[in-house]
Amino acid sequence: MTGRTFIQVILPLRLAWEPFYALPEGVTVRLGERVQVPFSGRTYSAVVTDPDAHPEIDTARIKEILALEEGIRPVTAAEIRLWRFISDYYLCTLGEVYLAAYPPRRIAGEKTAAAIRQRLAQRQEREAQRSAARLARLQQRIASRESRLEKARKDSVRQQLQQEIDALKASLEALQAEPQPIETPSQEPGKSIRLTPAQETAFQRIQEAFAQGKNALLQGVTGSGKTEVYLKLAQDALAAGKNVLYLVPEIAMGYQLAERIRRIFPEEACTYSSGQTPADRRQTADRIAEGSYIVLGTRSALFLPHHDLGLVIIDEEHDTSYKQDSPTPRYQGRDCAVVLAAQHGCPVVLGSATPSLESLYNCKIGKYALVTLKEKYYGDADEDIEIIDTQAERRKRGMEGHFSSKLVLRIRQTLAQGRQVIILRARRAYSPAVQCDNCGEIRRCPHCHVALSYHQDKGRLVCHYCGHTELFTETCPHCGGTLRPIGAGTQKIEEEALALFPDAAIARLDSDTTPAQTIRIIESFESGATDILIGTQMLAKGFDFEHVALTVILQADSLLSLDDFRADEKAFQLLSQLRGRSGRRGGESHFIIQTSQPQHPVYQMLTGSGAESQFAERKEFCYPPFTRIIELMAKDENEPRLETVTRKLAAALQQALPDVSVCGPYAPAVDKVSGKHIRHIRLTLARDARLKAHKETLLATMQAFCRDNHYDGHLGINVDPA
């Protein structure tokens, strides 16, 4: 047949290519539009990546699309550009990125060609209306600035307004080819933000960096008011008719922030995280596609239909929660946000009290400008750090359960002053394991190589890796001895605290808490109704509680024992963050670390500056940021086969990539999950121009290996593991 139009699409599948389809006579589609197509006997919602493709294959065999998708906004070219970057860089397929960006939807029935054409006409009409609305918004913004310009007297203000007007007029001209305006309400960006002199200086430095085309890293001590600086930058961007993406590592810390943003930008503020319902998320996405916005979100907010981006804010940029470990795409949200911004030609401000070595390195090589903020907004608290040696205390009989007497005293003093306490323990559940007091047997998950955690409230043992649960019975199934909880998770700490401080109101926050409870617990603590808040790592992140005068970490050792070259850096960051939750309005403040290894260098780093020695160590051992790491993960229920195949694969990779260091296969700390054994192979690559070529070779070698050994579906790739 001649005259047929062909298109190329992305399917929501792990597919390494973009298949071709034919369009019915007279139908045209556009880039990003969704079409329903048949594939392997099923129907999928596909995204058009080439609306006019010229396949170099036998076109007679190309199938026709089934329908145009009704009522969904097309994916933008900019979105697809980001998907392509992620697919290339993180060595995954476009389909996997599409799935992450647009979780699968139900497919409606098939449509006829006539229905498709009718739909086309409706669509054109709607689009005309939409651009009219944008036009009206722009005109209103120009008008309001012109009236302000008339009244303004200061030269600097006049100049600023004139610049904004010029920029808006340019956008207006670009749109003017479109039809007549219709009425829509518009609002000026809200109240003013007053910066302190130190914040003002930081703000200006960041703007200077932006003017030079550089991103900025804002290193500000906790409580210095980094948020204020971000919001001021955001205000400028919105005033210039641009939009803002504000990323946080976890949405828990976003509740307080969202409120603050909503107060300043009531019209433009919205939030987005994978914890929201699909309907809520779709609504936010549609709203963003059409209007001006500042969106506060977690890494998945990268996949929103961003347009007219004027600023990307990456808060707590050091946080490893930015990295997605599974499923694919295993992307680093921070790094992708920087790429997204570059694709949109917009600047980025990254911020942290304890920046990642990766970002500090980017400052060293001149890619980012380093801007510091050293003063706390409410002045320095009268702060001290105390390290309590639990082994020594135990010998002196100075421990009550998991609390040392010194700590109990300090908590009582703090409560007596009417102030609050945060206690962090890096393990949830009642106890991380149960053990038989007779035969010493530890109850393990039948599917994973890990101990089962004891959840006393449910009376069950739970595997935190695969979700397996079983009823807890006190009798050891092997010898009839008694099973006893060993160690303490947050639930046990809560129980001990309730006994030690009977008059205090105590709450617990960890991933066993539901989102609704989380909001309630945070509000209650914020209002002062709760005295002691106990929880896991999430307590350390970004919260701004007024009356906290004491923060505590129990069994800090559990942060140190990770077999990970980043363990010290992560521990240091967590401890610094936790410490920063206390004394946020000045006054007396304490930070107590309970540990059995008080001499560990991480604790010394808290008082000095750690980055330089860490740089030296990373360089010596060829770790990132001086190199790039790619980790291959193989999973197989058959362990001998896994061993043999991964050894062969490592050899094949080493042969294909002679100047790359290939390490392994080795068993990770948890080497069996959900019935599958796990091995890792680690590749360390030089950080140079050959990186891309090396990745291509790696992928080709792996694909050939899987084909030759019939070993597909067992391997995963993790680029830049966190």
CA pseudo-torsion sign 22, 24, 25, 28: negative
User: Strands 548-553, 588-595: parallel, antiparallel or unpaired by DSSP?
Assistant: parallel
Element (H, E) at 601: helix 601-605
State how far the Cα of 13 lies from the Cα of 97, in Å rounded to an integer. 9
636 binds, among Zn ion, ligand ADP, none (CB under 5 to 8 A by kind): none
Q: Which residues contact 376 (CB under 8 A, 6 or more apart)?
A: 221, 222, 223, 224, 584, 586
Output 162 or 196, the one with its CB closest to ligand ADP.
196
Output 496 or 544, the one with its CB closest to ligand ADP.
544
Output 168 or 313, the one with its CB closest to ligand ADP.
313
448 binds, among Zn ion, ligand ADP, none (CB under 5 to 8 A by kind): Zn ion
Would you call 690 helix, strand, or coil by DSSP?
coil
603 binds, among ligand ADP, Zn ion, none (CB under 5 to 8 A by kind): none
State how far the Cα of 149 lies from the Cα of 114, in Å rounded to an integer. 54
Output 199 or 718, the one with its CB closest to ligand ADP.
199
465 binds, among ligand ADP, Zn ion, none (CB under 5 to 8 A by kind): Zn ion
How far are the Cα atoms of 368, 438, 519, 543, 581 from residue 378, in angstroms, in the given order?
Answer: 28, 56, 26, 16, 13
39 binds, among ligand ADP, Zn ion, none (CB under 5 to 8 A by kind): none
Place of tokens 């549609």: 286
The nearest distance, CB 434 to Zn ion, in angstroms, is 15
62 binds, among ligand ADP, Zn ion, none (CB under 5 to 8 A by kind): none
445 binds, among Zn ion, ligand ADP, none (CB under 5 to 8 A by kind): Zn ion
The nearest distance, CB 224 to ligand ADP, in angstroms, is 4
219 binds, among ligand ADP, Zn ion, none (CB under 5 to 8 A by kind): none
The nearest distance, CB 327 to Zn ion, in angstroms, is 18
Output 228 or 494, the one with its CB closest to ligand ADP.
228
436 binds, among Zn ion, ligand ADP, none (CB under 5 to 8 A by kind): none
Output 256 or 661, the one with its CB closest to ligand ADP.
256
On whether the CB atoms of residues 363 and 218 are closer than 8 A, the answer is: no
Residue whose Cβ sits closest to ligand ADP: 225
The nearest distance, CB 559 to Zn ion, in angstroms, is 23
Looking at 554-692, which runs of residues are DSSP E strands? 588-595, 627-636, 661-666, 672-673, 676-686
544 binds, among ligand ADP, Zn ion, none (CB under 5 to 8 A by kind): ligand ADP
Output 454 or 545, the one with its CB closest to ligand ADP.
545
The nearest distance, CB 248 to ligand ADP, in angstroms, is 11
State how far the Cα of 523 lies from the Cα of 535, in Å rounded to an integer. 15
Output 172 or 370, the one with its CB closest to ligand ADP.
370
Residue 521's identity, in one-letter code, is I
Nearest to 28 by CA among 59, 53, 11, 2: 53
Q: Contact positions toward ligand ADP, by CB under 6 A?
A: 194-196, 199, 220, 222-228, 377, 544, 584
State how far the Cα of 486 lies from the Cα of 566, in Å rounded to an integer. 28
State how far the Cα of 710 lies from the Cα of 700, in Å rounded to an integer. 15
The nearest distance, CB 667 to Zn ion, in angstroms, is 16
Size (the chain), residues: 722
The nearest distance, CB 222 to ligand ADP, in angstroms, is 4
The nearest distance, CB 585 to ligand ADP, in angstroms, is 8
State how far the Cα of 456 lies from the Cα of 473, in Å rounded to an integer. 11
Output 140 or 227, the one with its CB closest to ligand ADP.
227
216 binds, among Zn ion, ligand ADP, none (CB under 5 to 8 A by kind): none
CA pseudo-torsion sign 571, 575, 578, 580: negative
What is the 8-class DSSP label of residue 187? -
State how far the Cα of 447 lies from the Cα of 545, in Å rounded to an integer. 41
606 binds, among Zn ion, ligand ADP, none (CB under 5 to 8 A by kind): none
Output 110 or 470, the one with its CB closest to Zn ion.
470
Q: Is 697 exposed, middle or buried (0-12, 13-18, 19+ CB in 10 A)?
A: middle
Output 95 or 223, the one with its CB closest to ligand ADP.
223
Output 220 or 583, the one with its CB closest to ligand ADP.
220
Identify how many contiguous H helices and E strands the chain contains and give both numbers. Answer: 20, 30
The nearest distance, CB 232 to ligand ADP, in angstroms, is 9
The nearest distance, CB 515 to ligand ADP, in angstroms, is 22
Task: Name the CA dihedral angle for 358, 359, 364, 367, rounded to a multiple of 10 degrees.
Answer: 120
Output 537 or 555, the one with its CB closest to ligand ADP.
537
554 binds, among ligand ADP, Zn ion, none (CB under 5 to 8 A by kind): none
165 binds, among Zn ion, ligand ADP, none (CB under 5 to 8 A by kind): none
Output 389 or 544, the one with its CB closest to ligand ADP.
544
137 binds, among Zn ion, ligand ADP, none (CB under 5 to 8 A by kind): none
Residue 549 — φ and ψ, nearest 5°? -120, 0
How far are the Cα atoms of 176, 635, 645 from residue 640, in angstroms, in the given order?
Answer: 68, 12, 9
The nearest distance, CB 523 to ligand ADP, in angstroms, is 16
User: Strands 453-455, 433-436: parallel, antiparallel or unpaired by DSSP?
Assistant: unpaired
Sequential DSSP letters for 132-150: HHHHHHHHHHHHHHHHHHH
On whether the CB atoms of residues 193 and 234 are closer than 8 A, the answer is: no
Nearest to 255 by CA among 429, 497, 513, 494: 513
Nearest to 214 by CA among 335, 339, 367, 373: 367
Residue 286's identity, in one-letter code, is D
Output 221 or 486, the one with its CB closest to ligand ADP.
221
The nearest distance, CB 612 to ligand ADP, in angstroms, is 23
Q: Contact positions toward Zn ion, by CB under 5 A?
A: 445, 447-448, 463, 465-466, 468
